[in-house]
Amino acid sequence: MPYQLVWLIFLLPLFSFIIIALFLRPFLKSQPKTAGYITIAALTGSLGLSVWALMEVMATGQPLPVPDITWAVVDGLTIHLGLLMDQLTAVMLIVVTVVSLMVQIYSQGYMKGDAGYHRYFAFMSLFTASMLGLVLADNLLFVYVFWEMVGLCSYLLIGFWFHRPSAANAAKKAFIVTRLGDFGFLAAILLIFFNTGTLDITQLHSLAATGALAGTTLTWAAIGIFAGAAGKSAQFPLHTWLPDAMEGPTPVSALIHAATMVAAGVFLVARTFPLFSHSTEAVTTVAVVGGFTAIFAATMGLVMTDIKRVLAYSTISQLGYMMLGLGVGGIAIGIFHLFNHAFFKALLFLGAGSVSHATGTFDMRKMGGLRKIMPWTYATFLIASLSIAGIWPLAGFWSKDEILASALENQPVLFILAMITVFMTAFYMFRVVFMTFGGSYRGGDPEAHGKPHESPPVMVMPMVVLAILAVVSGLWNVTGDFGAFMGHGETHSFTEGFFGILTHSLPWISLMLAGLGILLAYAIYSARWLSAESIGGMFQPLYNLFLHKYWLDELYEKVFVGRVLLKGFFAGLQGFDVYGVDGAVNGIASGAMATGRAIRKAHSGQLQLYGLFIGIGIIVIVACVYFFG
């Protein structure tokens, strides 16, 4: 097939957006379902083409030569509209199209009957098109254009239920916070352009490799790019928008705020990785910020009671892992985790959506006992949780151990943080599992519709598909195939195969930590009552009963006090998050407003005062010219 077809991967969802926005919405309002069907059809096409493109790239081992067109000529600089269809892009295309397609199918059920059904699918199509454009773009200017486009779509979709003020505020916050990082990106683009005269990614790679772009310029450019990536990928300290972004519809969270857009930051760093790898400072920054974010976000995930917020902090933490992987290992290691994470995290969000569809709430304290009522949701959610906890042989295990191994090699301190995070991840995920699915049903939302029930097949089917992927996607690198494909022959890969990996000690340690986390969650959230009863039944003597009681009380108190303390500590951390970081952002905004209110008083409506300003202005300029000229 001709390589021009690669263009269609990006154009199909774009057409879908145009058709829905310009034709379906005005003319076929009575049949909302068509919007969903068109989106799904377009994405199926994109997925097919992406698979084909991946096969071609695998077969040739080279970027596909996709013909490009000239876009604009700025003062001697020709900007081509071109696509870079290399290994990285091929992998990203699969991630975006698969997750997007599954989410669209799921949305058919989740968004059923919503007044904004057309609008929803129009935005989703536009988002997918922009995201595909972002991964396909062959120069930084276009990456930036699509970068802003996905941000805009995210803004529109977070605020989708705009009648909730919290949704509208969250949308605004997401937009403003990510733009803080975007300065850095834009500044880096300008810096690169004026030092090299090109924004073409392939050329930049070779410039960095040959040393034509080096020194502080390179470092600052890389740090600027990383600032943009940190904003998009919610890395500390620009992470605060992501938990709030959960106000959007859950499938949106699954697609944009778990699998694709937030991963765009990781992708960007990978895309421009040669700029990082030739600057020790830059690559260390990436690793440190990533490692710190991973553990920092995980601690907050421990205390949340809103299921989506737990998942949001988990996403931030996992994105931190990816950054750490890029920083200590390289493209293949970071992107491999991105690849696996996309599937299981999207699945977790779809599961959370399914649960709330049934119970009408996201508050885990009102759930419980859904294992029997929603067996499919439970099974898939459990698989995803095991995968993210890094249990052999699920997908998360393979990519996480690669990152840990590289961290051990290069950054021992970060390795320890990452190991603690492994434990926490397992704990908070299984806390969610036990609170949501274990025990007995605690009523859900009092105003919700009747009894909880399993979601319709149209929602279950995508979850099953993603669950299968969450099991098998990690197998790609069992013998190092993924690393070889990405062309970065990683030195620290475990390539001994399916069982061979278990001959090393590191996987065992991480497995044990994860198992410990699960066990603790089990002890606290599921087995506590069970064990109390059985122990009570086993020990008949009064003495033993007292002792037992005493022991239970002590345990109880320990757990309680421990939990309160823990809660206090982590709530404090979260408070810093809300009042410190947010406060700074809000402070700048309100400071600007206050300044504005003060200065506008000068516009008193008195025209002679205005004239006086002209006079004073002239005097000041003349004085400056004479004293400094």
Partner 1 sequence: MFSETVFTPLFLPELTLLVSAVVVILLDLFVKRKWWLAAVSIAGIVVSAGFAIAMWGGDSQSIFFGMMAVDNFAIFFKLLFLVIAALVILASTDYVAKFARFQGEYYALVLLSALGMMLMAATTELISIYIALELTSISLYILVGFLKDPKSTEASLKYLLLGAVASAILLFGMALVFGFTGQTQLGEIAAAIQSLSLSGVVSSPGLMLGIVLMIAGFGFKIAAVPFHMWVPDVYEGAPTPVTAYLSVASKAAGFAVILRVFYSAFGIPSWLSLDWMLIFAILAAVGMTVGNIIALTQTNIKRMLGYSSIAQAGYLMVGLAAVSFLWESSYRGTVTGQGGLLFFLASYALTNLGAFTAIIAISNKLDSDLIADYSGMGKRAPLLALALTLCLISLIGMPPAAGFMAKFYIFSGAVQQGLLWLVIIAVINSVISAYYYLRVVKVMWLGKPASATRVPSSIALRVALAISCLGVLVLGIIPGFVMKLAEMAAQMFVS
Partner 2 sequence: MVGLEHYLILAAVLFAIGLYGALAKRNAIIILMSIELMLNAVNIAMVAFSRYIVPLQLTGQIFAIFVMVVAAAEVAVGLAIIIAIYRHHKTIDATKIDLMKW
Residue partners of 626: CB distance under 8 A and separation at least 6: none
Output the smallest distance, CB 403 to partner 1, in A: 34
Of 344, 173, 342, the closest CA to residue 248 belongs to 173
How many whole angstroms separate alpha carbon 544 and alpha carbon 430?
32
Query: Which parts of 89-178 are beta strand (E)?
Result: none
Which of 413, 622 has the CB closer to partner 2? 622
HSE of 364 in the Cβ direction (CA atoms, 13 Å)? 24
Contact flag: residue 595 with partner 2 (CB under 8 A): no
Q: Considering CB under 8 A, how many residues would be counted as binding partner 2?
A: 11
Q: Which residues bind partner 1 (CB under 8 A)?
A: 70-76, 141, 144-145, 148-149, 152, 159, 162, 168, 172, 175-176, 179-180, 183, 186-187, 190, 193-194, 589, 592-593, 595-597, 599-600, 602-603, 605, 607, 609-611, 613-614, 616-618, 620-622, 624-626, 629
Compute the least distance from the CB of residue 169 to partner 1, in Å. Answer: 10
- Total number of residues shown for the chain: 629
Kindly tell me which of 2 and 615 has the beta carbon lying closer to partner 2.
Answer: 615
Range 467-526, binding partner 2 (CB under 8 A): none
Structure tokens at 608: 């002679």
Q: Which is nearer to partner 1, 137 or 303 (CB)?
A: 137
Nearest alpha carbon to residue 353 among 108, 96, 38: 108
Count of C-beta atoms within a 10 Å radius of residue 457: 10
175 binds, among partner 2, partner 1, none (CB under 5 to 8 A by kind): partner 1
Task: Tell me which of partner 1, partner 2, none is bound by residue 408, counting a contact when its beta carbon lies within the kind-specific cut-off of 5 to 8 angstroms.
Answer: none
Shortest distance (Å) from residue 601 CB to partner 2: 7
Name which position in 164, 365, 449, 603 contacts partner 2 (CB under 8 A): 603
Task: Give the nearest distance from C-beta 322 to partner 2 in angstroms.
Answer: 49
Q: Is 613 helix (H, G, I), strand (E, B) or coil?
A: helix
Nearest to partner 1 of 72, 547 (CB atom): 72
Question: Which listed range, 195-203, 285-293, 325-333, 609-617, lies at the site for partner 2 (CB under 8 A)?
Answer: 609-617
Give alpha helix (H) positions in 438-505. Answer: 457-472, 481-486, 497-500
Q: Which does 579 bind (CB under 5 to 8 A by kind): partner 1, partner 2, none?
A: none
Does residue 446 have a cis bond before it (omega within 30 degrees)? no
What pairs with residue 10 in β-bridges? none
Cα–Cα distance list, 388 to 348, 394, 454, 481 (Å): 10, 8, 24, 21
Q: Is 77 strand, coil or helix?
A: strand
Is 604 a residue that touches partner 2 (CB under 8 A)?
yes
Backbone angles phi, psi at 208, to 5 degrees: -70, -35
CA distances from 434 to 117, 239, 375, 429 (A): 34, 27, 14, 9
Helix (H) or strand (E) holding 74: strand 69-74
The entry of partner 2, partner 1, none near residue 622 (CB within 5 to 8 angstroms by kind) is: partner 1
Region of 148-156, 171-179, 577-585, 601-609 interacting with partner 2 (CB under 8 A)? 601-609
For partner 2, the binding residue among 75, 538, 601, 629 (CB under 8 A) is 601
Is the bond preceding residue 412 a cis peptide, omega within 30 degrees?
A: no
* Residue 600 makes contact with partner 2 by CB under 8 A: yes
Residue 172 interacts with, from partner 2, partner 1, none (CB under 5-8 Å by kind): partner 1
Tokens coding 107: 């949305």
Alpha carbons 144 and 151: distance in angstroms, whole number: 10
The answer to whether residue 626 forms part of the interface with partner 2 (CB under 8 A) is no
Cβ proximity to partner 2: between 4 and 606 the closer is 606
* CB-nearer residue toward partner 2: 163 or 600: 600
- CB nearer to partner 1: pick between 240 and 473: 240
Verify binding: residue 608, partner 2, rule CB under 8 A: yes
In the complex, least distance from residue 145 CB atom to partner 1, rounded to whole angstroms: 4
Residue 492's nearest CA partner among 342, 345, 336, 343 is 336
Amino acid at 44: T
Q: CA end-to-end span of the chain, whole Å?
A: 66
Minimum CB distance to partner 1 smaller for 127 or for 336: 127
Among 61, 500, 562, 611, binds partner 2 (CB under 8 A): 611
Q: Which is nearer to partner 2, 565 or 612 (CB)?
A: 612
How far apart are alpha carbons 418 and 179 in whole angstroms?
29
**CB of 168 vs partner 1, minimal distance in Å:** 5
Positions that interact with partner 2 (CB under 8 A): 600-601, 603-608, 611-612, 615
